[in-house]
């Protein structure tokens, strides 16, 4: 069993070209050059969250990250971004080593542009069948993210996804995300065949994260059950669920969703435009909470493992805790 764990660990390390196979989850507004460079400097793999950034802003963030670290890091791009091609060009021109796509799957041409530039492509796989298809499409690695995660989430739990996917995909490294906050679970994922883990919620309460103090305090006060998922009220408007701490912002989102459902059904608004309006709501609400500190009315996106976040620490300390416990399991 020890060799299995070590082989999985080594696969992740070699793919990421890092000391440890620990990725930072790309959190909009928070996964910027300070946090990303700190994670990479501590031996993990930081990932810039491009989110709704313009190409110029992304280029600035990439360059600022390179100024703070010479270690590898990646960029997370949202496939529905209207200027996706320009963002991809920034990744290529700035010679970022890895590109992660979220919010859908990039077309073959986009993947080819990156692979021609020797940039590793990482894609999220919500099922075994789709994971196999994504590998054929050119994915160099997969990320499987469970329902326990913060922000936009899928319907299936991390433990179920691990059992469904990890035993059957050996062609490329597979990283596990969603509800992971300690080294025991990291080792457990490695034991099942993961190449490493992605951590998001735990990295909010670190010294190097620019999140407002109110945002961090909300995490520390929260329990696991505090992080709830929004509901889809009507199939006429198929919203992607979002997990966040329940507050007035959640109520505002539900009110907006009900209004948009009526408008779509009445033919007053196109469904795509309505979904984009909801997405803009989350972008603004998250900034209000994470950056401006309005944790009452903003969106405090958090995974269920928020209940195990109980203090603010340096990034390096968090990573060392994760790694030391995982190594103890590997050496036992």
Domain-located, residue 217: no
Q: Kindly state whether residues 248 and 149 are assigned to the same domain.
A: no
Question: Domain containing 12: what range?
Answer: 2-210+308-331
- Dist CA 301 CA 34 (whole Å): 20
Domain-located, residue 145: yes
> What would the pLDDT profile of 179-199 be if each residue is shown by its tens digit?
999 999 999 999 999 999 999
> What would the pLDDT profile of 210-267 be if each residue is shown by its tens digit?
999 999 999 999 999 999 999 999 999 999 899 999 999 999 999 999 999 999 999 9
Q: Kindly state whether residues 193 and 253 are assigned to the same domain.
A: no
Q: Is the pLDDT of residue 3 over 90?
A: no
Q: Kindly state whether residues 133 and 149 are assigned to the same domain.
A: yes
- Contact yes or no for 285/252 (Cβ under 8 A): yes
Output the six-digit token pair for 239.
Answer: 């919203």
Domain-located, residue 166: yes
Domain-located, residue 216: no
pLDDT at 30: 98
Query: 73 by DSSP, 3-state: which?
Result: strand
Domain-located, residue 269: yes
Domain-located, residue 181: yes
Q: Kindly state whether residues 206 and 227 are assigned to the same domain.
A: no
Q: Kindly state whether residues 9 and 143 are assigned to the same domain.
A: yes
pLDDT mean across residues, the chain: 95
> Which whole-number Å values give the CA distances from 27 to 135, 255, 266, in the listed order?
25, 25, 35
> What would the pLDDT profile of 230-241 be if each residue is shown by its tens digit?
999 999 999 989
pLDDT at 332: 73
Domain-located, residue 218: no
Name the burial class of residue 108, with classes exposed (0-12), middle (13-18) and buried (19+) by CB atoms within 10 angstroms of its CB: exposed
Residues 6+ apart with CB under 8 A from 142: 122, 123, 124, 125, 131, 134, 135, 165, 169, 172, 173, 174, 175
pLDDT classification of 4: cutoffs 50, 70, 90 = low
pLDDT at 49: 98
Q: Kindly state whether residues 47 and 111 are assigned to the same domain.
A: yes
Q: Kindly state whether residues 90 and 10 are assigned to the same domain.
A: yes
> What would the pLDDT profile of 63-81 be if each residue is shown by its tens digit?
999 999 999 999 999 998 9
Name the burial class of residue 118, with classes exposed (0-12), middle (13-18) and buried (19+) by CB atoms within 10 angstroms of its CB: exposed
219 HSE (CA, 13 A, CB side): 28
Q: Kindly state whether residues 35 and 131 are assigned to the same domain.
A: yes
Q: Which domain CATH number covers 81?
A: 3.20.20.70
Q: Kindly state whether residues 271 and 325 are assigned to the same domain.
A: no
CB-CB neighbours of 314 under 10 Å: 13
- Dist CA 40 CA 145 (whole Å): 21
In the chain, which ranges are continuous DSSP H helix? 2-16, 33-41, 55-68, 84-93, 108-116, 128-137, 158-165, 183-191, 213-221, 248-265, 271-290, 315-331
Q: Kindly state whether residues 107 and 41 are assigned to the same domain.
A: yes
Domain-located, residue 215: no
Q: Is the pLDDT of residue 2 over 60?
A: no
Q: Kindly state whether residues 97 and 27 are assigned to the same domain.
A: yes
Q: Is the pLDDT of residue 124 over 70?
A: yes
Residues 6+ apart with CB under 8 A from 208: 34, 35, 38, 314, 315
Q: Is the pLDDT of residue 327 over 90?
A: no
> What would the pLDDT profile of 22-42 be if each residue is shown by its tens digit?
999 999 999 999 999 999 999
- Dist CA 63 CA 190 (whole Å): 33
Q: Kindly state whether residues 160 and 112 are assigned to the same domain.
A: yes
- Contact yes or no for 47/26 (Cβ under 8 A): yes
CB-CB neighbours of 164 under 10 Å: 17
For CA atoms 212, 213, 217, 219, the dihedral sign is: positive
Q: How many domains does the chain have?
A: 2
pLDDT at 1: 45
Q: Is the pLDDT of residue 60 over 50?
A: yes
- Dist CA 42 CA 175 (whole Å): 19
pLDDT classification of 136: cutoffs 50, 70, 90 = very high
């Amino acid at each position: 069993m020890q060799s299995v764990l070590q082989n999985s660990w080594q696969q992740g390390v070699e793919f990421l070209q890092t000391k440890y196979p620990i990725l930072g989850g790309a959190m909009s507004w928070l996964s910027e050059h300070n946090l990303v460079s700190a994670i990479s400097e501590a031996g993990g793999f930081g990932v810039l969250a491009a989110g709704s950034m313009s190409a110029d802003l992304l280029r600035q963030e990439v360059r600022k990250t390179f100024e703070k670290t010479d270690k590898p890091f990646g960029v997370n791009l949202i496939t529905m971004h209207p200027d996706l091609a320009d963002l991809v060009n920034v990744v290529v021109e700035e010679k970022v080593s890895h590109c992660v796509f979220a919010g859908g799957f990039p077309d073959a041409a986009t993947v080819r542009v990156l692979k021609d530039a020797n940039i590793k492509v990482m894609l999220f796989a919500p099922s075994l069948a789709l994971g196999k298809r994504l590998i054929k499409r050119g994915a160099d690695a997969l990320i499987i993210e469970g329902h326990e995660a913060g922000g936009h989430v899928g319907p299936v739990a991390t433990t179920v996804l691990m059992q469904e996917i990890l035993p059957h995909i050996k062609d490329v490294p597979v990283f596990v995300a969603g509800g992971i906050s300690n080294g025991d679970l990291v080792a457990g994922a490695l034991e099942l065949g993961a190449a490493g883990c992605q951590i998001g919620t735990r990295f909010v309460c670190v010294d190097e994260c620019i999140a407002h103090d109110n945002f961090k305090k909300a995490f520390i006060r929260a329990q696991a059950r505090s992080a709830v998922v929004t509901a889809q009220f009507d199939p006429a408007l198929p919203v992607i669920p979002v997990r966040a701490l329940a507050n007035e912002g959640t109520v505002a989102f539900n009110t907006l969703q009900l209004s948009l459902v009526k408008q779509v059904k009445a033919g007053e608004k196109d469904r795509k435009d309505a979904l984009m309006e909801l997405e803009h709501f989350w972008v603004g609400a998250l900034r209000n909470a994470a950056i401006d500190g309005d944790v009452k009315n903003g969106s405090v996106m958090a995974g269920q493992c928020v209940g195990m976040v109980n203090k603010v620490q340096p990034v390096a300390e968090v990573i060392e805790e994760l790694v030391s416990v995982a190594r103890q399991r590997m050496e036992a």
